[in-house]
Amino acid sequence: MNVKRLLFYFVFLLNCFLLNAQIPHLLPMPQKSSFSGKYVKANLPVREVLVKQVPEAQFQDEAYHLSVTPKEVIIEAVTEKGLFWARQTMAQLTVDRHGKKCLPLCEITDWPAFRIRGFMHDVGRSFIPIDELKKEIALLSSFKINTFHWHLTENQAWRLESRLYPQLNAAQNMQREKGKFYTLDEARDLVEFCRKHHVLLIPEIDMPGHSAAFERTFGFGMQTAEGKRIMKDIITEACTAFDVPYLHIGTDEVAFTDPQFVPEMVAFVRSKGKKVISWNPGWQYKPGEIDMTQLWSYRGTAQPGIPAIDCRFHYANHFDNYADLVALFNSRIYNQPVGSEDLAGCIVAFWNDRYIDNTYQLLNENNFYPYMLTLAERAWRGGGRGYFNGKTTLLWDDEPEQKAEFAEFENRMLWHAKNTLKDEPFAYQRQADVEWRITDAFPNDGDLQRSFPPEEHLMPVGTPDSDITSYTYNGSSYDSRTITGNGIYLRHVWGTLVPGFYENPKENHTAYATRWIYSKKACTAHIYLEFQNYSRSESDLPPLPGTWDYKGSKAWMNGEEIMPPVWQNTNKERKLELPLRNENCVSRPAVDISLRKGWNKLVLKLPVGRFSASEIRLVKWMFSATVEQ
């Protein structure tokens, strides 16, 4: 690291410290702000004014200007939405000083970089109670999240009531959480609830794919003549319940047997006064044939003249709890710093192919609130440093500016975890100050149990600065590098599409990761540890008894092996309908470990065989280790 970059890192951190001493933990951080460092009582009169323009704001529709003076608070905005977002900022500005509610004297001019900033729940596969959805919408709107995508129909179940075809909602026609669905009255009520929170609700009725529930009910598919007639009835019924501008029609992952199906459905939805959204990849459209596309997978491609929502690398059901959050924070939206007519924004999707039978665990394993706060920051602020590429996917020590920016954001996010979201699942701990040293990978020739030189140095000798950093094995030298974070991908779940620690990871290799931990006294600490974060979209088998995973991973604290937990699932056949239990570390108690006074050494052995196996479809060469003292 050169001297200039190191100096920048420390100056940036100092400025963040001084700034945070004056400014409440605003999230997202406003585009422009100035603070005097002085405070007034929070019971000031508030004057709200609709204006024709907010000076200096780049996007006017949701922009606002907020001024806290010694005598009053003045809020100016072009729209009611802008006034609402200003109120959310004002709520975050309110702090407790010496037992009194206060506001800092400040001037804020703010606007969003992207007009769609949202989340998607796959309730077709995993039903989420309506009160839970309302709570999430209300909480996330306080962070200026403004879109809820409601994926209502799936192969497993049709979750939207049909009074014309009640058999769609019959328990015998559902495969999961049978008999659970949302009434049309609940849909209307949720639309109104979203409107009050200035959240756009996008209902999705997936067609003609992901429609096994439809086929079980009627005995034929949507693309038949009778299927199309019924779908038009259903669309008419849905459009009366959803007083919203858009209806999402899916069109992904399906063979089109009727080339007129999609154009006919788009025209019919438009005839009901709705605009239409469709997945991409999916049906192929030209400008004018669709109103918006939602991009998924690396193959999703925005088209000029068709507004797009970026969802390409934003499937949180595949994410871990730490490394992927770094990538999301650092990445631009569709690799653009701000939105445009053709780039509407971003939605983080939470798919539930694998069954999880309680909502709390579902949210926790998907890292729901940490990921949504990260998107709230990026989609409102804009910018970013890459697009899930280069060194933006991990916290590299030779990228000090990037690390400092993340540390500052993480500080604000964790404040809200302990305050705004203190009663919600939040499976995330600080990682910006956690350093690992990871070796070059040793070839294991498919022998995942083979030992290598780092296993001869498991005990803490001296200090971190005196630890061994290179090894010799079979006449070759193996060095090591440092990196920061609670979770590290050596190879990402999506392979080389998203970079991990190794530039060219290879099968049949073994790496070692070392972390030094200082303790002021001998004590029992706790570690949350995993070597395969189980995707919520896979039917992967649980580890065998007495093992951490199918790769032969191991862990030692001061030379004492840390043993794996007792796995609750013991199935030998892959089943999507068997609920995940304690496979992921956020869904099991931490393991007790003994720390001695002074320096302690945590060593992880990280073998990998093939990158896809019969037990685990997408092998994640990774680890996540969080220590609580």
Locus of tokens 């590290």 = 488
pLDDT recorded at residue 11: 53
Nearest to 143 by CA among 80, 199, 68: 199
**What's the length of the chain?**
629
| Sign of the four-CA dihedral 97, 103, 104, 108 | positive
The CA-based diameter of the chain, rounded to the nearest angstrom, is 77
pLDDT at 15: 52
Instruction: Give the 3-state secondary structure percentages of the chain, helix then strand then coil, rounded to 5.
Output: 25, 25, 45
Taking CA 45 as the corner, what is the angle to CA 39 and CA 48, rounded to the nearest 5 degrees?
Answer: 110
Are residues 121 and 128 in contact, defined by beta-carbon separation less than 8 angstroms? Answer: yes
pLDDT score recorded for residue 10? 52
Distance, CA of 588 to CA of 586 (rounded, Å): 6
Using CB atoms within 10 Å of the CB of residue 422, give its burial: 0 to 12 exposed, 13 to 18 middle, 19+ buried: exposed
- Number of CB atoms found within 10 A of residue 390's CB: 12
Separation of alpha carbons 77 and 55, rounded Å:
10
Helices (H) and strands (E) in the chain, counts: 11, 28
Can you list the domains of the chain with their CATH numbers? 25-110 (3.30.379.10), 116-401 (3.20.20.80), 435-628 (2.60.120)
Q: Identify the segments of the chain with pLDDT beneath 70.
A: 1-22
**CA atoms within a 13 Å half-sphere pointing along the CA-CB vector of 444:** 25
How far is 374 from 519, CA to CA, in rounded Å? 31
Burial label for 47, CB within 10 Å (0-12, 13-18, 19+), is exposed
> What whole-number distance in Å separates Cα of residue 285 and Cα of residue 552?
48
pLDDT at 12: 52
Q: Any bridge partners for residue 561, and if so which?
A: 556
CA torsion, ordered 13, 18, 23, 24, to nearest 10 deg = 60
HEC assignment per residue over 360-426 = HHHHHHCCHHHHHHHHHHHHHHCCCCECCCCCCCCEECCCHHHHHHHHHHHHHHHHHHHCCCCCCCC
pLDDT of residue 130: 98
The distance of Cα 293 from the centroid of its chain, to the nearest Å, equals 20
- State the pairing for strand pair 509-519/435-439: antiparallel
Prediction pTM value:
0.96
Which has the closest alpha carbon to 380: 134, 92, 75? 92
Percent of residues, the chain, with pLDDT higher than 90: 96
